[in-house]
Structure 1
Amino acid sequence: MAKAYQRILLKLSGEALMGNLGYGIDPAVVQEIAQEVADVVASGTQVAIVVGGGNIFRGVKASSAGMDRANADYIGMIATVMNAMTLQDALEQIGVATRVQTAIAMQEVAEPYIRRRAMRHLEKGRVVVFGAGSGNPFFTTDTTAALRAAEIDAEVIFKATKVDGVYDRDPTGDADAHLYKSLTYSHVLTHDLRVMDSTAIALCKENNIPIIVFNLSERGNISRAVAGEPVGTIVGGSCDVT
């Protein structure tokens, strides 16, 4: 497999691990994701992953129902660690050395997040899964993905979603929705396209980290994106609309 990138950061939502279930983790889906990541690692590309926790607990939703926002966000961070450990198990089952690092200390089950250690793992060909978000409430795992990508010198963020890329309207309810092939950071922010939250987009813009948004459910998309093939929407290039 060809590769266009030496080091990438893959952003997975918690919902991506849920598959068609209404809640929790679908082991078959996790195994498929693990195999795709294994193929990328085998090509020589270094892979870091940030995973969300919305399949288990969503802090924003809980806070809107009356829970203290900071407490709700901390619970959500713990949910991401559950997902990170699940991914680690699936990867190691197929022979991919993996480390989980968390922004909240959980020394019995994971390493603390240490930037230099994470980079050393990547250099040795290990996958690093970052759990517990940034360790701070009021920040999303999208922002964490942008932050970690900048910290570890990742060349690109791959955001895996349930749709083919970024549209001007919701494609599930509008057959005429336009799929963008390329967008500037400014266009995303100005038109509130919700690729990632505005803090994450601003971080990527400041550090010149492109974001490639693609459909995770299409087998082989991660490998195609790593190979530099046109997949989904790239944010950080030119804009294909006026």
Structure 2
Amino acid sequence: MRIVITIGGSIIISEFTHEMFRSYADVLNSLRDEHELFIVVGGGKPARDYIRVARELGASEALCDDIGIDVTRLNARMLITALGESAYPSVPENFREALRYSTSGRIVVMGGTEPAHSTDAVGAILAETVGADLMINLTSVDGFYDRDPEKHPDARFYPEITASEMLEHLIGCDVKAGTYEFFDHTAIQMIKRSGVKTLIVNGRDPENLLRALDGDIGTAVIPE
């Protein structure tokens, strides 16, 4: 099965240590014999810190996005380092490169691509580009909620939701660099267009990736 996995930066680099990179590398390496894997890594707090400083210096939102993209690619390089020989050694900067690198038979790891595209949007576009069978979005919560469950204990959890319903929840959300929550509009529209099966799963435990493949956890996004 061809799988695109997006890993939020707030998960893989929640603390500036190597442990989560190593843990994810172990899980991904355990899957590579049975699946063709494409990974998209987010920027996390380091990206937000750089964006904040750039914004305070008067940078445009497009430039702030570019700076955030640079950080995602650094995180991708860290995961490639952890994966060792099983990963393609270079970080693709666009989807054509990702597809070309995949012909090596190795795991492809990338970060951002262009301004105004969140990690999830990159994953959704990549999933359509490579004809993925499944996309798994690894985030900091158990799946899709109508509000941030860390701020609102009464937030409603959706074990299943349509892409159209997700779009309704995004109305009025901030779209500045570094402020994306869950999926942005581009990601959801790509899911609707491509029809790729999508799961949103808590990625704080890398083993949840295996549980997601068994269909035990998370939110299933119906592309309609």
**Is 1:14 matched up with 2:9?**
yes
Calculate the TM-score normalised by the size of structure 2: 0.85
The 5 A counterparts of 1:1-242 are: 6-19=1-14, 21=15, 25-42=16-33, 44-58=34-48, 61=52, 64-65=55-56, 66-92=58-84, 96-103=86-93, 113-121=96-104, 124=105, 126-131=106-111, 133-134=112-113, 136-192=114-170, 194-227=181-214, 229-236=215-222
Deviation at 1:151, TM superposition (A): 0.6
| 1:28, distance to aligned residue in structure 2 (A) | 0.8
* 1:203 positional shift: 0.8
The 3-state SS of whatever aligns with 1:57 is helix
Q: What amino acid is the match of 1:46?
A: E
Which secondary structure does the structure 1 equivalent of 2:78 belong to? helix
The 1:237–1:62 alpha-carbon spacing in structure 2 relative to 1, beyond 3 Å, is: same
The aligned amino acid for 1:234 is A
TM-score normalised according to structure 1 size: 0.79
Cα distance, 1:191 vs structure 2: 2.2
CA-CA distance at 1:119 after TM superposition: 3.4
Task: Using the TM superposition, give the Cα deviation of residue 55 of structure 1 relative to its aligned residue in structure 2, in angstroms.
Answer: 3.0
Query: What's the offset of the Cα at 1:143?
Result: 1.5
Distance 1:177 1:117 in 2: 42
CA deviation map 1:218-238 (0-9, x unaligned): 3421112223x2311011168
Query: Which AA in structure 2 matches 1:231?
Result: I
Determine if contact 2:88/2:101 at 8 Å carries over to the other structure: no
Pair 1:82–1:219, CA change in 2 (3 A): closer
Relative to its length, the structure with more helix (as a share) is 2
Structure 1 unmatched ranges of 5 or more: 1-5, 105-111
Structure 1 CA distance for aligned equivalents of residues 168 and 60 of structure 2: 31
CA 1:76–1:169: 2 relative to 1, 3 Å: closer
CA root-mean-square deviation: 2.3
Listed one character per residue, the Cα deviations across residues 130-181 of structure 1 (whole Å, up to 9, x for unaligned) are 23x22x2232222111111111111121111111111122222333322111
Distance of 1:114 and 1:219 partners within structure 2 = 27
**Structure 2: runs of 5+ lacking an equivalent:** 172-180
Larger radius of gyration: 1
Count of aligned positions: 213
Deviation at 1:184, TM superposition (A): 0.4
Over 3 Å counting, the alpha-carbon distance change for 1:170 and 1:151 in structure 2 is same
